[in-house]
Amino acid sequence: MKKQPRNRRGPAANIVVLGADHNGVRLKAEAKSLLTSLGCRCIDVGSHNETDKVDY
């Protein structure tokens, strides 16, 4: 069996998954904007607005 390298580089290395409860929506949006400008692909898993009250 061939060993996989520990530190992978390539398309999968730049994917970031972001999630927050209703209190973190604004900060998550700022983080997403910054990460996107740095070339990262962001996957937003919610919450998507401040009115839907969810707590993680």
* Residue 6 amino acid letter: R
pLDDT for position 19: 94
Range of the domain at 23: 16-40
pLDDT at 40: 96
Residue of higher predicted confidence among 8 and 4: 8
Q: How much is the pLDDT for 13? A: 74
Does residue 4 fall inside a structural domain?
no
Residue 21 in any domain: the answer is: yes
Residue 52 is predicted with a pLDDT of 84
Taking only the tens place, the pLDDT of each residue in 7-45 is: 566 656 799 999 999 999 999 999 999 999 999 999 999
pTM above 0.85, yes or no: no
String of DSSP letters for 31-51: HHHHHHHTT-EEEE-S---SS
46 belongs to a structural domain: no
Q: Is residue 6 part of a domain?
A: no
How many domains does the chain contain in total? Answer: 1
